[in-house]
Amino acid sequence: MTQSDQSQPVKANQMAVWGIFSSTFLTIFLAEMGDKTQLATLLITAESQSPWIVFVGAAAALISTSLLGVLIGHWLAKRFSPEMMDTAAGTLLLFISVMLL
C-alpha cells in the first residue's frame, strides 16, 4: 500500500468534517440573522457603549446554548432512531406553529 493510498481516507475524513462544519455554520448563521438575539445584542451594545464586553457576553451565551443543544442531541441520538427523531421534530415544530397562530 502506497502512502497516497493511505492518505485517501484521511482526505475523505477531512472533507466530511469540513462539510459538517460549513453546513452547521451556514445554517446557524443564516437562522440567527435578524432574530431577536441579534437585535437584543445590537440594542445592548448601543446602550452600554461597550461593544467588546457585549460581544464576549453574547458569544459565551450562544456557545453555552449550542453546547446544550449538542449534548442533548448526542444523548437523544444514542436512544432513538433518526426516523423517530425526524418525526418528533416535525411534530413539535407543527405544534409550536399551530400554537403561535
Span 13-52, pLDDT tens digits: 888 889 999 999 999 999 888 889 999 999 999 999 999 9
> Predicted confidence band at 67 (pLDDT cuts at 50, 70, 90)?
very high
Domain boundary assignment for the chain: 49-101
Half-sphere exposure (CA, 13 Å, Cβ side) for 83? Answer: 0
Average pLDDT over residues 45-74: 95
pTM of model > 0.85? no
pLDDT of residue 81: 94
Residues 60/52, Cβ–Cβ less than 8 Å: no
Span 18-27, pLDDT tens digits: 999 999 999 9
Residues 11/19, Cβ–Cβ less than 8 Å: no
Q: Report the Cα–Cα distance between both ends of the chain, in Å, rounded.
A: 62
- The type of residue at 100 is L
Residue holding cell 400554537?
Answer: 99
* CA distance to 14, 24, 59, 71, 91, per residue, from 66 (Å): 23, 11, 10, 9, 22
